Amino acid sequence: MSALLAFENVAASYNGAIAALHGVSLEVRAGDFAALLGANGAGKTTLLKAVSNLLPAAGGRITSGRILFDGRDVTSHSPAEHIRRGLVPVLEGRRCFKSLTIEENLVAGAVGRGFGRGQVTRGLEVVYALFPRLKERRRVAAGLTSGGEQQMAAIGRGLMAAPRLFVLDEPSMGLAPLVVAEIFEALSRLNREMGMTLLVAEQNSSIALKHAHHATVIENGRSTLSGAAADLAARDDIRDRYLGGK
Ligand code: ATP
């Protein structure tokens, strides 16, 4: 089986000077639940932004290497083109349109992919089955919902674009442990029951290693370790050295 996503020696920097990634190579196979672990500032967000060509909007760029999606070089594809092909990011926590209702936020996610009414209806069914709480809150303005509900809405909005590769940045950020567990359980279900391929960056390494199949550790813009999540979770030395002992 070939990789759905491949990073080949990708280097990236901000404002032409600050190097944030130094030749990272990694592969995510179709059907995988892949985790990207690392401390604050290690380069996880930069890597995820590079995947969907969102670095220029943050004052950065890829300086060398290339990114393949489904065997095709997509390094210079626009963010909109990525979404049309099914490479869908949910970055920087929960970015909802606060004055729109939860359901309006969800429907907005289908627009970028050019979906019609039938696909929107099916998408809503998937999201509400995964997060029943969003169905209860569907007519409430997103700004009036809890942090956990907003994160679920952000994930749901991404799902409305029917991802082939779903890319998430720190879905646990700022949330209570029970909500984090609920969100990771939902991500696991998407992977298990729908076969969705996931790439998830997390500082909360224990929850990520519990659910992911494979993990890659990023340190100072380099990929320093990669392997089966269960193997990494079982090694105390790795936990202490790379994962903050979590
Ligand atoms: P976090 O968990 O804090 O998001 P991270 O692992 O995602 O950390 P990045 O945000 O990718 O790390 O940051 C990698 C490096 O790039 C850091 O040194 C950071 O200071 C720098 N950096 C990130 N964004 C910018 C930016 N817009 N302009 C300049 N430097 C940046």
Q: Is 126 in the pocket of ligand 1 (CB under 6 A)?
A: no
Strands (DSSP E) along 15-59, which ranges?
A: 18-29, 33-37
Cα–ligand 1 centroid distance for 22 (angstroms): 13
Q: Tell me the whole-structure pTM to 2 decimals.
A: 0.94
What are the distances in angstroms from CA 110 to CA 3, 40, 85, 163, 185? 26, 32, 13, 11, 23
* Residue whose CA lies nearest to ligand 1 atom number 3: 40
User: Are 52 and 86 contacting, i.e. CB atoms less than 8 angstroms apart?
Assistant: no
Specify the residue with its C-alpha closest to ligand 1, atom 31.
14
Mutate to test the pocket of ligand 1, among 45, 63, 90, 169 (most ligand atoms within 8 A of CB): 45
Q: Distance from the CA of 39 to the center of ligand 1, in angstroms?
A: 11
**DSSP calls for 172-223:** TTT--HHHHHHHHHHHHHHHHHH--EEEEEES-HHHHHHH-SEEEEEETTEE
Q: Whose CA is nearest to atom 28 of ligand 1?
A: 14
Could you state, in chain order, the average pLDDT of each consecutive group of 10 residues for the chain (246 residues)? 90 86 95 94 94 92 95 93 93 81 95 87 97 97 95 96 96 93 97 97 92 95 93 79 56
pLDDT of amino acid 149: 95
Residue nearest to atom 8 of ligand 1 (CA): 41
Ligand 1, atom 20, lies closest to the CA of 41
Nearest atom (ligand 1) to Cα of 221: 14
Q: Ligand 1 in contact with 45 (CB < 6 A)?
A: yes
Q: What are phi and psi of 38, to 5 degrees?
A: 160, 160
Of 54, 56, 55, residue with least CA distance to 82: 54
Query: What is the ipTM metric for this complex?
Result: 0.93
